[in-house]
Amino acid sequence: MTLHVDPDAVRRSWLHGADADAEFDAARRRTPDAAGSDLAGVAAVVGDAAADLAGVLDVCRALVSEHATNLEACLTTYATTDQTSAGAFNGLR
């Protein structure tokens, strides 16, 4: 099987992934404020919800980061082959 990949186009497309990471990061920085203050009897519940959201955002950022790393690994593999043949693109697992 022959593959034809434009690495620059792939990287330009991945800018959407980088944008998503920036949004996750911005949201993560706001989670302490989401816990609120002076909430009387609901403070613990709201604080737990904010902590859960922070955890979800951390996982999202880790997934974006892992995908970016794998994408670059695949492009590096492609660049070190004849740039037309399928190699072992382990980052796509």
Out of 4-8, 10-14, 25-29, 66-70, which region has the weakest mean confidence (pLDDT)?
Answer: 4-8
Query: Which pLDDT score, from 0 to 100, does residue 37 have?
Result: 77
pLDDT surpassing 80 at residue 3: no
**38 CB neighbour count, 10 Å cutoff:** 5
Task: Tell me the pLDDT tens digit for each residue of 26-65.
Answer: 999 998 888 777 788 888 888 899 999 999 999 999 999 9
